[in-house]
Amino acid sequence: MRNYIKSRLHRRFSIIFLLVLVLAAAGGIGQHIYMSANQQGLQNESRQWRETQNVLADLEFYTQQIIIAGRGYLAFGDGSELDDTERNLSAARAQLEEYRSLGKADTDLVAQTEEFLNDYKNEWLPQLTEAVEAGSTTIENREQISSQAGALINSLSSGHDQAEAARMNVNDRYFELNENSNLAYLLYLIGMLSALGVIVWLLLRKITGPLWEMKNAAAKVGSGEEIAISDNHRSDEIGELSRSFNAMASSIQQNQNAIMDRNEELIVQQNELQEQQEYLRTLNELNETFSGSMGKQVLMEQLLAKMYDLFHFDKGMVAALEPSWQAAWYGMSEEEKQHFETHSADSPFALIENTKKAHVIERKSYGGEEGLSTKETTVYEMYLPVFSSKQEMIGAAVFTRTGKNFSGRERETMQGILRQASISFGRILLFEKTEKERFLYQRIIDSVDEGIQYIDESGTLEHANHWTWSMIGAGAQNEAQALPFGEWTSEWLKQIDEDCREKVENYFQAFIDNGTGPDFSIEYKITTDSSVHVYELYGRNVQMESEEKGTIFVHRNRTKEFELDQMKSDLVSTVSHELRTPLSSILGFAELLLVKDLKPARQKKYIETIHREGGRLTSLINDFLDLQRMEAGRQEYEMEEVDLSSLMLEVVDTFEPNQPEHTFVVKDRLQYGRIHADKGKIVQGVTNIIGNAVKFSPEGGEVKIELANEQNMVRVKISDEGLGIPEKELPHLFSKFHRINDEDRRKIRGTGLGLAVTKQIVEDHKGRIEVASTEGEGSSFCLFFPLAGVEFDMEELPEGSELHSVLILEDDRSLGMLLSEELRHARYEVVHYFNPYKALEALKRGLRPEVFVVDLMLGEEMDGWKFIERLKSFRHTEDVPIIVSSALHEDKERMARMDVRHYLTKPYPPNSLSQQVRRIIEQTDNHGEVYVPDFNEV
């Protein structure tokens, strides 16, 4: 039996591992049975203590309920309370029996509980019944019952806590048992693994020793050394393997010499095959180059490299002659390259083109071509042509070899290779021509301001122009990729207006579903924050050889046509309203004058109305004609030097008397305000702006006109506190006939031409107009005009400083403008008012000048003295210095009352005013003095 086991390794391994497995299983099962028995006992004990806890908790609860129900019955005499008492007594008795049956019951606690239940049922409950029937709310043993019940409840609670502590102790023992069990398992596993490791090590040692010896012997056999392996007399597989190896090694050594002799012959044959293989590999790579290359330069460079591998020349060149000279070089200097390109027409190119054969030139070496040799050598230079399929020479190759001519076989091989290369050259030339034409056609359709797209039968977008790709949202890198129908249509529909999406989608889908599609076009819109674009979409089927190949869609931009139609509609609407309204008034009042005998006053009123409405018609027609002439470039301007300060005061003077709800403020910060312009047209433009400021401020408010220099321009800023302009309307504000249609503006008359005319006037004067507005807060228009003549070098204010502000109250326009210009040139900001009430209103609204210049003769309602009195009554103006400028004689009484010490009598030199203002501002203790300078003093 022992020899039977030792004769085979697998039997020995099987017996050993079977024994290990049996021992491991027996030990594990025994340990598991022992631990399970202990764990089960502890679990049973823990369950008994938990049941004891639950029974004690129930006994405590029912005891409390007995007391509560008994007290309720005694207090209220309710029979249900008596029933609850008896029911709780029965439940408590049942729980006591269950507690007694448990193995963990406390006999003293059982006796105490049983005594309480018996006393309560047999003695105290009858007493409660008698007391309730007698109408009493107390019994004699009430304190005894409470005392005995409290003691019982405390005992039950204590028993419950003891049971909890006992159960926790059992649980701790259970956890400790588990930890010990795990540790025992771990130690047992470590022991088994250690024993198994020792057994495996012993077995491997018996196996690896002989194998290592055979491995060394095999290495010696491989290196040709003699070997001798002793027989180990083992009867197992290792012994058999050792004997077989010895026989094999002997056979190998016998055949090694014969193999080495044969191997030498094979090496010679292998070298020849490798050379042939390398030659074929190079030709194969050339074929791959011809079939795969898509660039002339790459093709020529690869062709030249492969030709060198095949024929080993010293210098070489492959050139493309069409459509322009392009070459690849090998072994040539920059000077040689330049010389060859310059004199290529003098080379044998013409000869090889005519003969259509290779041509070899034999010459002497020069310029170091002989290498280290001191003698001249012969250089062979071969020229080979490359012809297209039309037998036109499209390229050539030149190869130079020193000291060795090209054999006939080499020439034939080279010509064959170049014939194959000509096919690739022709294909590349055709591809380049096709790409050039394709690029040209793509640029043509990309330059069209309309969308063009082609889809196949399934709806996949195959080709499109740049406009279409931008609408889909694809970048330049995606323009060469086809997009499925669902992908490009979903992106397209996102761009167009929502009310047009279903119509456009159905139109696209009709061509996919029906093949032919509808023969009509549709229209859709694309609305952005600043504009509305209108497109006409139509599709046509593409046929090839009577077979439908797809559909081409064209998106024609008809925004200009739409805007023209809209403009026509606005024109008709405006003309019908703005012409009919005054015409109705004129005709109506004229008819009244004709058919009725009216009083002179009434007649005059009607005639004034007719005259006013006729003026409206004239203004409307003039706007039409002016805009037409300006757009056609036929408007004639009478250019002259114009003082914008004077002009703005004149325009404001025409508005102020008729607009009592509006306060006009002119803030003049100009250092130089003369421009080269047509005064009438400038008046027309600023009148339109100020008129709009008044019209679109229906609640009144302040209209502020600010004049200032900005670089070499004059800036006129006109601001109001009216309705403002919606942000989306700003881009269309200067369009002809454009009006904002909302509830607040529909009742305000207008043609929509005023701003368009004003913009044209300003631009014709080489200026510009800007607008800023917040809806509900008002608008600001800035007009910029270039200064007249030369550039004006304005003095710069120190950083952080501002001009001092002077308010002039003067009703004489000429003198007011004279004083304003003087103060402006003295670098003061001038605010000019004609009306004292308007000035007071502006002061209330926040105007804060540093000096007042007041004329005494202002009008019938308020003169200069009253205005000064009002200033003294305001807290924010009572300390502001005031200069009186008047032609009246001195009023001693008022001068004394208002602390007037000097009097400036008109006329006086304007510079005297600016000097006096400078003195006042330089003082640091101003307290609202009224300065009345004497002319002699000034």
**CATH number of the domain where residue 925 is located:** 3.40.50.2300
Residue type, 379: V
| Residue 931 clears pLDDT 60, i.e. is over it | no
Cα distance from N-terminal residue to C-terminal residue, the chain: 150
| Residue 937 clears pLDDT 60, i.e. is over it | no
167 and 19 together in one domain: yes
Q: How confident is the model at residue 935 (pLDDT cuts 50, 70, 90)?
A: very low
552 and 618 together in one domain: no
**Could you give the 3-state DSSP secondary structure of residue 596?**
coil
Residue type, 184: A
470 and 587 together in one domain: no
425 and 543 together in one domain: no
Total domains in the chain come to: 6
What's the CATH code of the domain at 509? 3.30.450.20
Q: How much is the average pLDDT of 555-575?
A: 72
Q: Would 893 be classed as within a structural domain?
A: yes
| Residue 891 clears pLDDT 50, i.e. is over it | yes
Q: How confident is the model at residue 796 (pLDDT cuts 50, 70, 90)?
A: very low
Q: Would 816 be classed as within a structural domain?
A: yes
Closest CA to 114 of 72, 142, 148, 160: 148
463 and 588 together in one domain: no
State pLDDT tens for residues 674-732: 899 998 889 888 988 998 888 888 888 889 999 988 888 999 999 998 888 888 778 87
Domain boundary among 736, 763, 794: 794
Q: Would 855 be classed as within a structural domain?
A: yes
Closest CA to 786 of 804, 802, 763, 806: 763
67 and 198 together in one domain: yes
CA 788 to chain centre: 48
For 725-761, b where at least 16 C-beta lie within 10 A, e where not — what string? beeebeeebbbbbbbbeeeeeeeeebbbbbbbbbbbb
Q: Would 226 be classed as within a structural domain?
A: no
β-strand partners of 809:
833, 854
Q: Would 3 be classed as within a structural domain?
A: no
Closest CA to 638 of 577, 681, 595, 605: 681
State pLDDT tens for residues 243-302: 676 767 667 766 776 777 777 777 877 777 776 677 667 667 666 666 665 677 777 888
CA atoms within 13 A on the CB side of 516: 4
Residue 390 structure tokens: 């039309």
- Quickly count: other Cβ atoms within 10 Å of residue 491's Cβ: 14
| Residue 743 clears pLDDT 60, i.e. is over it | no
Residues whose CB falls within 8 Å of the CB of residue 360, separated by 6 or more in sequence, listed in order: 380, 381, 382, 383, 405, 406, 411
| Residue 34 clears pLDDT 50, i.e. is over it | yes
726 and 669 together in one domain: yes
753 and 615 together in one domain: no
Domain boundary among 185, 203, 221: 203
Distance CA 698, CA 334 (A): 84
Distance CA 242, CA 232 (A): 8
Domain boundary among 557, 581, 613: 557
Q: How much is the average pLDDT of 376-398?
A: 83
928 and 896 together in one domain: yes
**Could you give the 3-state DSSP secondary structure of residue 95?**
helix
Sheet order of strands, 378-387 included = 326-330, 315-320, 393-402, 378-387, 359-364
State pLDDT tens for residues 198-219: 777 776 766 676 667 667 767 7
> Beta 640-643 vs 662-668: how paired, if at all?
unpaired
CA atoms within 13 A on the CB side of 266: 6
Under DSSP, the state recorded for 730 is G
Show contacts of 913-916: CB within 8 Å, 24+ apart: 913/819, 913/822, 913/823, 913/853, 913/883, 913/885, 914/822, 914/823, 914/825, 914/826, 914/828, 916/883
Distance CA 20, CA 14 (A): 10
What's the CATH code of the domain at 610? 1.10.287.130
**How high is the mean pLDDT of the chain?**
77
Under DSSP, the state recorded for 483 is B
Q: What is the pLDDT of residue 359?
A: 85
β-strand partners of 771:
781
Q: What is the pLDDT of residue 938?
A: 37
Q: Would 550 be classed as within a structural domain?
A: yes
Rg, Å, the chain Cα set: 59
Closest CA to 866 of 875, 857, 879: 857
Which of 91-100, 626-635, 705-714 shows the highest mean pLDDT?
A: 705-714
Distance CA 458, CA 622 (A): 60
Secondary structure of 635-674 in HEC code, one letter for each residue: CCCCCEEEEHHHHHHHHHHHHHHHCCCEEEEEEECCCCCE
Residue 421 structure tokens: 């290369």
Q: How confident is the model at residue 790 (pLDDT cuts 50, 70, 90)?
A: low
> Beta 393-402 vs 547-557: how paired, if at all?
unpaired
Can you point out the beta strands (E) in 240-365?
Answer: 315-320, 326-330, 359-364
Q: Of 37-46, 413-422, 517-526, which range is least confident? A: 37-46
For 65-80, b where at least 16 C-beta lie within 10 A, e where not — what string? bbbebbbbbbeeeeee
| Residue 425 clears pLDDT 90, i.e. is over it | no
| Residue 671 clears pLDDT 50, i.e. is over it | yes
Closest CA to 49 of 169, 134, 205: 169
CA 70 to chain centre: 80
661 and 766 together in one domain: yes
Residue 874 structure tokens: 């305001």
Look at the block and give the residue holding tokens 């670089």.
Answer: 711
Q: How much is the average pLDDT of 842-857?
A: 83
Residues whose CB falls within 8 Å of the CB of residue 287, separated by 6 or more in sequence, listed in order: 420
Q: Would 223 be classed as within a structural domain?
A: no
What's the CATH code of the domain at 733? 3.30.565.10
What's the CATH code of the domain at 307? 3.30.450.40
Q: What is the pLDDT of residue 934?
A: 46
627 and 648 together in one domain: no
Percentage of the chain with pLDDT > 70? 78
Range of the structural domain that residue 63 is part of:
10-203
| Residue 933 clears pLDDT 80, i.e. is over it | no
Q: How confident is the model at residue 769 (pLDDT cuts 50, 70, 90)?
A: very high
644 and 627 together in one domain: no
Q: Would 243 be classed as within a structural domain?
A: no
Q: What is the pLDDT of residue 798?
A: 45
